[in-house]
Amino acid sequence: MVDPALVDWSRLQFAMTAAYHWLFVPLTLGLAVIMATMETIYVVKRDEFWKKTAKFWMKLFGINFAVGIATGIILEFEFGTNFSNYSWFVGDIFGAPLAIEGILAFFMEATFFAVMFFGWEKVSKRTHLVATWLTGIGAAISAIWILVANSWMQHPVGMEFNPDTVRHEMVDFWALVLNPVAISKFFHSVFSGWMTGSIFVIGISSWYLLKKREVRFALASVRVAAIVGILGTFAVMFSGDSSAIHVAQYQPMKLAAAEGLENGGQRAPFSVVPGVEIPGMLSILATHDIDGYVPGINNMLDGYTTPQGEKMPSAEEKIERGRRAIEAFGEYRKLSGSDPVAAAQARKVLDENIDYFGYGYIDSPQELVPPVGLVYWAFRVMVGLGGALLLLMGVVLWAEYKKRLSAMKWLQWAALLSIPLVYLAGQAGWIVAEVGRQPWVIEGLLPVKAAVSSVSVAAVQTTFFIFVVIFTLFLVIELRILTNAIKKGPEIENK
């Protein structure tokens, strides 16, 4: 019997590390595109102003990039320290994309990062521009492999269970890479980084306008960032639509939790806020059909039949089949060396019920329901703030185009204060994605309580507070360095 406190503290430590890490990643992805765009303008126009503008944002990119690497390394190690059973059970699959990320993306980033920062006067303009773009592409490639691994946890594909080694083994690498969940999640995450970088640049540039400093630099930065951010936001919306389809197909309980949908059906309503619904909208978002069937929480717990006549088992039935699979697995392991015939029969029962293996660790159907309130409101925070930030970027771009932004102090303040809001939207998105699939560490395959390491609660608690101190120190140091660099400014004369 696993100590519930160990499960909770292991989850909390991983969530804390991931939350800190995601403070740095989206800014890296967004600033990479913005600074590369600015350097491209410099190379095309041969205007030193754009070179100095690009170099300033590149400096902030470098500060953020360095701290993000430190938190990311610790996050990956926690799979082994906190979730060793998980690492053993699926390490052959999960380790592959992480290894590729380390070998390919990290070395690519490191190589071109050095050329980008130290090669301004040592290589040609075009070579340096290529290095800048490849640094950003390297960051995106790194995100690809991390998100491939994460998406496999949301929708496991391309593997088979080997009862002799007690491990899931990869049988189709390309199924893993081309997992539809991974493709949608990659674009959604990367383009949300464009939003974060854009809001950051617009907000900092607005600070300069409020201080009446580097006005030309600030307005030029706003123009580039707003365009990148608006394009990124529309891409986030498009990828979010495909993500909704995939969640409805592969993680219907997450969708029901995000909507607070207790009883589903055809023409399922979308809940704007409690008590305010749009009839049929959830069916459209989840199936692209107003008559599409969307199951609710109670439907999935009790079992239901789709309009096409497909009977979906109840939670009790899944749990029973899962326990049958675990029992058959134990029999197979015990008899495989002494009674091949009986072992073969046990293997047959195991294969018939293997899809429900993880449910055998579930004690009651209610465990299969994630924290509905948290997921419901996190989704609305994400969507609501995303819409508000898109509107802000549109207004800022319009004001800059009309040459009114310099005089609109209320808009400058709104842009500056929006910086923490874009981070809140990003964190809310990950809450939906990760909390929404509880109790699973791998959807339908392995619950969190079966994945944790055999360590003491005290050990996890101790490292949790150590990491809180270390990561907070990292964050304070980064903010201090960023603040000093921003106060110093790009040192560009106004014209």
Instruction: Provide the pairing of β-strand 270-273 with 276-278.
Output: antiparallel
Separation between Cα atoms, residue 286 and residue 251, nearest integer Å: 11
| pLDDT (tens digit per residue) in 44-82 | 999 999 999 999 999 999 999 878 877 888 888 888 889
> What pLDDT was estimated at residue 308?
87
Q: How confident is the model at residue 495 (pLDDT cuts 50, 70, 90)?
A: very low
**Does 491 have pLDDT greater than 80?**
no
**Does 2 have pLDDT greater than 90?**
no
Contact 269, 284 (CB under 8 A): no
> What pLDDT was estimated at residue 493?
58
Could you tell me the two tokens for 293?
A: 């069937």
| pLDDT (tens digit per residue) in 413-460 | 999 999 999 999 999 999 999 999 999 999 999 999 999 999 999 999
Q: What values do phi and psi take at 457, rounded to 5?
A: -60, -40
3-state helix/strand/coil string of the chain: CCCHHHHHHHHHHHHHHHHHHHHHHHHHHHHHHHHHHHHHHHHHHCCHHHHHHHHHHHHHHHHHHHHHHHHHHHHHHHHHHCCHHHHHHHHHHHHHHHHHHHHHHHHHHHHHHHHHHHCCCCCCHHHHHHHHHHHHHHHHHHHHHHHHHHHHHHCCCCEEEECCCCEEEECCHHHHHCCHHHHHHHHHHHHHHHHHHHHHHHHHHHHHHHCCCCHHHHHHHHHHHHHHHHHHHHHHHHHHHHHHHHHHHHCHHHHHHHHCCCCCEECCCEEEECCEEECCHHHHHHHCCCCCEECCHHHHHHCEECCCCCEECCHHHHHHHHHHHHHHHHHHHHHCCCCHHHHHHHHHHHHHHHHHHHHHHCCCHHHHCCCHHHHHHHHHHHHHHHHHHHHHHHHHHHHHHCCCHHHCHHHHHHHHHCHHHHHHHHHHHHHHHHHCCCCEEECCCEEHHHCCCCCCHHHHHHHHHHHHHHHHHHHHHHHHHHHHHHHHCCCCCCC
**Does 282 have pLDDT greater than 70?**
yes
| pLDDT (tens digit per residue) in 307-329 | 888 899 999 999 999 999 999 99
Separation between Cα atoms, residue 323 and residue 321, nearest integer Å: 5
How large is the average pLDDT for residues 238-254? 95
Omega within 30 of 0 (cis) for the link into 439: yes
Q: What values do phi and psi take at 123, rounded to 5?
A: -125, 170
**pLDDT above 70: percentage of residues in the chain:** 99
Mean pLDDT of the chain: 93
**Does 296 have pLDDT greater than 50?**
yes
